[in-house]
């Protein structure tokens, strides 16, 4: 047999760290003291490692105390009545030998059987003076050293432990979480209003930012009075103070903390542009046909309540069809398939990012407005390439996770016959006109717009108009251009969004519910 002791410690079982594991009050006290001793904010990973190490040390200390109360039981040894014995296979419980008898098993030769009474009153028998090899026999002089590696436990069970620790931390009023790190509020360094005024001035000189907390601290550290405070704690405390001051926005992508002056952010970032504002329209999903549902999937409107499979997270490229509200505002919709490509952080509402023009490599300042579901910063990109409504725009991953590549299906410009939307009084008229187009597009969704000011007036006028009324005015005009005297679902969706922001579902449900509209065939409809 080898010399390794079979300890069978609780911490060596999988269930100890998974099903059975709970964060105790002693664990919290230990971690709080760790914050106090180090004066350093720690990540959840670091705290999980420290907790694992603490549990292993506690167990080792407990075992050492148990072993001091007697001899470690080994079947090869002889034991006398009254002797105290420690059983490693029974979580190192201690028992007293209260009797002995001769064993009777020809397979093991001559041996003794000892009767042992434990502290809880349980009496058990064990073989001793055993000549045959046994796994509980040990040869090394110090069987107390643990062979468990905290990093191995972290790799195997760290996620489960960290999840429970994070939940427990959420119940503690004195803990604060910032930028992926935790610390005690009561131990934060003092940040005075003067420090925040200086931080505002620093960001103002940078046209609002963005700048890391460390960068701000380097500019103002000379005025800090408590010179003995750990600089890392000062930076964390400054983070906390900036977060609680409405003048500052944390705009860093995932894994970064960057600050920007809220007042100097683009107006379209601070407030949702009018063409993107949607006032929910009640409708019944029961009226959405299978064919309509497939069209909704194809359109991939970010307001559509559709969950895509997790496998989409592996996509490095997503293509969308540009509709009028986004073309008008220089934005992209943060669709269900597109969201995972953007380097967003869950704690951040607005994220400063960089959009890279695939055609030229030019870097474009951009913003991800996560909660409102759009990406801002592409107005000049659309204008530069004369990208039409209905064009295919592609978003790709960049090797730098804080950046994204923006592209479109570029081609040599050629003259095409497209639908031109023309404001006329209170109506929106449509005509077929020839235009030079240098981008691939969805023929069902393309529209040309020449009178943006006139369309803006109609947008204000129609923003409160019932969706059925808008459709009654648009469908006859669209049908007039069609040889089939009907309008496709995607064309109607794109046209409605020229006058009022609306996802496809309320439009399609209205077609079915309202007797003013008649189904022709497939995805085509007309007035009844």
Q: Could you confirm whether domain 416-527 is CATH 1.10.10?
A: yes
Measuring CA to CA, which residue among 417, 322, 431, 434 is closest to residue 378?
322
- Residue pLDDT, tens place only, 436-448: 888 999 999 999 9
Do the domains 188-265 and 302-412 sit in the same CATH topology, yes or no?
Answer: no
Least-confidence region, from 92-106, 353-367, 451-465: 92-106
Question: What is the rounded average pLDDT of the residues 123-146?
Answer: 72
Question: What is the rounded average pLDDT of the residues 370-384?
Answer: 92
DSSP line for 108-172: G-S-EEEEEEETTS-EEEEEES--S--TT---SS-TT-----HHHHHHHHHHHHHHHHHHHHTT-
Residue 210, preceding peptide bond in cis (omega within 30° of 0): yes
Higher pLDDT, 199 or 372: 199
Question: What is the rounded average pLDDT of the residues 359-364?
Answer: 94
Rounded to whole angstroms, the Cα distance separating 85 from 519 reads 88
Q: Taking 80 as the threshold, does the pLDDT of residue 347 lie above it?
A: no
Q: Taking 50 as the threshold, does the pLDDT of residue 3 lie above it?
A: no
Query: In which band, very low, low, confident or very high, does the pLDDT at 140 lie, cut at 50, 70 and 90?
Result: low
List the strands of the sheet with 427-439, edge to edge.
427-439, 410-424, 448-449
pLDDT at 230: 79
- Residue pLDDT, tens place only, 72-100: 888 888 888 888 888 877 777 888 888 88
Measuring CA to CA, which residue among 324, 365, 342 is closest to residue 497?
324
Query: In which band, very low, low, confident or very high, does the pLDDT at 6 lie, cut at 50, 70 and 90?
Result: very low
Question: What is the rounded average pLDDT of the residues 139-145?
Answer: 51
pLDDT at 66: 77
Q: Taking 70 as the threshold, does the pLDDT of residue 344 lie above it?
A: no
For residue 227, report the phi and psi dihedrals to the nearest 5 degrees: -65, -15
Phi-psi region of 377 (alpha: psi -120 to 50; beta: other; left: phi over 0): left
pLDDT at 310: 47
Query: In which band, very low, low, confident or very high, does the pLDDT at 112 lie, cut at 50, 70 and 90?
Result: confident
- Residue pLDDT, tens place only, 21-64: 999 999 999 999 999 888 889 989 999 999 999 998 888 888 78
Measuring CA to CA, how many Å separate 507 from each of 304, 469, 480, 527? 12, 11, 20, 14
Measuring CA to CA, which residue among 144, 89, 87, 143 is closest to residue 119?
87
pLDDT at 62: 82
Q: Taking 60 as the threshold, does the pLDDT of residue 2 lie above it?
A: no
Q: Could you confirm whether domain 188-265 is CATH 1.10.10.10?
A: yes
DSSP one-letter code for 174? T
pLDDT at 1: 33
pTM: 0.71
Least-confidence region, from 23-27, 363-367, 414-418: 414-418
pLDDT at 227: 63
H/E segment holding residue 466: none
pLDDT at 314: 63
DSSP line for 333-378: E--TTTGGGS---TT-SEEEEEEEETTT--EEEEEEETTTTEEE--
List the strands of the sheet with 42-43, edge to edge.
42-43, 181-184, 175-178
Domain 302-412: homologous superfamily in CATH: DNA-binding pseudobarrel domain (2.40.330.10)
Per-domain residue ranges for the chain?
1-176, 188-265, 302-412, 416-527
Rounded to whole angstroms, the Cα distance separating 273 from 266 reads 11
Query: In which band, very low, low, confident or very high, does the pLDDT at 355 lie, cut at 50, 70 and 90?
Result: very high
Q: Quick one: tokens of 68? A: 């001091």
Q: Do the Cβ atoms of 133 and 156 come closer than 8 Å?
A: no
For residue 434, report the phi and psi dihedrals to the nearest 5 degrees: -90, 130
């Amino acid at each position: 047999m080898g010399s390794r002791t079979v300890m069978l410690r609780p911490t060596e079982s999988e269930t100890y760290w998974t099903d059975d594991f709970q964060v105790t009050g002693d664990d919290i006290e230990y971690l709080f003291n760790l914050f106090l001793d180090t004066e350093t904010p720690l990540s959840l990973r670091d705290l999980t490692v420290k907790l694992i190490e603490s549990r292993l040390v506690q167990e080792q200390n407990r075992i050492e105390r148990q072993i001091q109360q007697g001899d470690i039981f080994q079947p090869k040894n002889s034991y006398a009545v009254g002797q105290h014995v420690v059983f490693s296979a029974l979580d190192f419980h201690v028992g007293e030998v209260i009797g002995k008898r001769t064993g009777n098993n020809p397979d093991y030769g001559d041996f003794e059987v000892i009767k042992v009474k434990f502290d809880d009153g349980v009496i058990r028998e064990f073989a001793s003076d055993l000549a045959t090899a046994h796994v509980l026999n040990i040869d090394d002089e110090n069987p107390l050293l643990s062979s468990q590696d905290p990093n191995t436990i972290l790799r195997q069970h760290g996620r489960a432990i960290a999840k429970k620790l994070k939940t427990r931390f959420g119940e503690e009023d004195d803990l604060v979480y910032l930028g992926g790190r935790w610390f005690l509020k009561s131990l934060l360094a003092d940040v005075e209003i003067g420090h925040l005024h200086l931080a505002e001035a620093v960001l103002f000189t940078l046209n609002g930012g963005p700048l890391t907390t460390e960068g701000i601290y380097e500019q103002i550290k000379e005025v800090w009075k408590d010179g003995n405070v750990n600089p890392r704690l000062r930076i964390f405390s400054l983070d906390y103070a900036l977060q609680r001051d409405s003048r500052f926005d944390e705009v860093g992508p995932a894994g970064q903390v960057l600050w920007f002056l809220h007042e100097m952010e683009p107006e379209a970032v601070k407030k949702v542009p009018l063409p993107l504002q949607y006032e929910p329209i009640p409708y019944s999903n029961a009226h959405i046909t299978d064919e309509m549902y497939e069209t909704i999937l194809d359109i991939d409107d970010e307001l559509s309540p559709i969950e895509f499979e997790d496998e989409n997270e592996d996509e490095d490229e997503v293509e969308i069809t540009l509709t009028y509200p986004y073309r008008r505002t220089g934005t992209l919709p943060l669709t269900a398939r597109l969201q995972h490509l953007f380097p967003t952080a869950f704690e951040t509402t607005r994220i400063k990012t960089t959009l890279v023009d695939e055609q030229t490599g030019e870097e474009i300042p951009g913003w991800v407005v996560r909660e409102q579901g759009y990406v801002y910063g592409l107005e000049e990109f659309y204008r530069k390439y004369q990208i039409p409504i209905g064009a295919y725009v592609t978003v790709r991953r960049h090797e730098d996770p804080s950046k994204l590549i923006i592209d479109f299906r570029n081609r040599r410009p050629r003259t095409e016959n497209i639908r031109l939307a023309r404001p006329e009084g209170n109506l929106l008229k449509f005509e077929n006109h020839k235009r030079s187009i240098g981008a691939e597009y969805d023929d069902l969704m393309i529209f040309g717009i020449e009178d943006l000011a006139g369309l803006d007036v109609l947008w204000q006028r129609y923003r409160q108009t019932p969706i059925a009324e808008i459709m009654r005015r648009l469908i006859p005009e669209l049908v007039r251009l069609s040889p089939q005297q009907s309008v496709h679902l995607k064309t109607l969706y794109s046209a409605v969004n020229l006058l009022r922001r609306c996802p496809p579902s309320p439009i399609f449900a209205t077609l079915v519910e309202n007797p003013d509209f008649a189904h022709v065939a497939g995805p085509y409809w007309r007035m009844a």
